[in-house]
Amino acid sequence: MANVEIIESKETENLMKDEKAFLLLIKIGYKTVLSEVFDIPPVRIGWAFLSGAESVGLTKQEYRTAKKNLEKWGIAEFEKSNKGTYARIITNKFIKITECKKCN
């Protein structure tokens, strides 16, 4: 797990208008793996594993729409697996992710 700092900007305020996409972005940031760790399922550095809509607190449709929007806007990318979804934030415009020292 990682620390997530929201970057204050007009762009961030605009993204916050889509509350579900913003929530998903924060969840991806929080779950992003920043260093080598043993995990099942294995997660690559820079990626997060999401087990489904329920893990984010969204309905399946809200989750699909939020994922679609984050991809369309060039904010995140997703890879499906048989266990869930891997997600990676591909821009640093909205949040800053740092390693959580207290989480280990």
Candidates 86, 99, 70; CA nearest to 5 is 99
Give the pLDDT confidence score for residue 26 in this predicted structure.
95
Identity of the residue numbered 74: G
Amino acid in position 27: K
Q: What is the pTM of this model?
A: 0.88
- Is residue 86's pLDDT more than 70? yes
Based on the structure, what is the number of domains in the chain?
A: 1
CB hemisphere CA count around 11 (13 angstroms): 10
Q: d(Cα 82, Cα 16) in Å, to the nearest integer?
A: 30
pLDDT given for residue 69 in this prediction: 98
Average pLDDT, stretch 23-40?
86
Any idea what the CATH number is for the domain that residue 9 is in?
Answer: 1.10.10.10
- In one-letter notation, the amino acid at residue 7 is I
- pLDDT number for residue 11: 95
The residue range of the domain holding 76 is 2-103
| Whether the Cβ atoms of residue 74 and residue 29 lie closer than 8 Å to each other | no
